Amino acid sequence: MYFQTLFLIVPSLIGLVSEREKISNLIILLIGILLFLSARNIINFQTIWKLFLPIILVLIGLYLIFKNTFKKSFTLKTDNNLKEYAATFSSQNLNFAKEKFENCHLTSVFGDIKLDLRECDLKKENIIKVEAIFGGITILVPDDCLIKVVSNSLFGGVSNKKKSIDAKKIIYIEATCLFGGVDIK
């Protein structure tokens, strides 16, 4: 009855070639191969069960190491001199009221960052790179901004609650969330 494992292996192989999301297909392929080897009595099923959690943790680690390989990105040209702000085991409130805002990079590790852009001078196109690792980031944007988000998330995510009616400016947000979240209001 080992042929039934092909219902896992074949679609995941096709998904690896045709889809952009590779991690879920890779996990299903690995599970299918392990079940196939178990059905052929090459590996003991109890051994597979003991190795299941460590294998999943290794795959998550590999994903975090090679995430930039799979990452979509915006093609907006920016200078590489992004202003960097970080909150590690702390919180930070960034308010750019009546100031000119440049592109920035926010990193929150077990912390909290609040970025208020509602009363600042924004360029027509802006990029904010965000990393939330076991932390949270809140970005408050003006009403006349269109928000475009690209996110790589693992047990976290980006929540965009801002709906622009008359967008004159664009804010591109590149987010990486690992057990953390980003709120855009």
C-alpha to C-alpha distance for 24 and 119, rounded to whole angstroms: 42
Model pLDDT for residues 54-89, shown as the tens digit of each residue: 877 887 777 766 665 555 545 545 556 678 888 888
pLDDT tier, 116 (very low <50, low <70, confident <90, very high otherwise)? very high
Q: How many CB atoms lie within 10 A of CB 170?
A: 18
Model pLDDT for residues 127-179, shown as the tens digit of each residue: 899 999 889 999 999 888 888 888 888 788 888 887 777 778 888 898 888 88
Sheet-wide strand order for 91-95: 91-95, 112-116, 136-140, 181-184, 157-160
In eight-state DSSP terms, residue 89 is: S
Domain layout of the chain by residue ranges: 2-70, 83-184
C-alpha to C-alpha distance for 30 and 63, rounded to whole angstroms: 14
Cβ-defined contacts of 163-169 (< 8 Å, 24+)? 168/124, 168/144, 169/122, 169/123, 169/124, 169/125, 169/126, 169/142, 169/144, 169/145
Whether 103 shows a pLDDT value over 90: the answer reads no
Q: Of 41 and 139, which is predicted with more confidence?
A: 139
Per the CB < 8 A criterion, the answer to whether 85 and 94 are in contact is yes
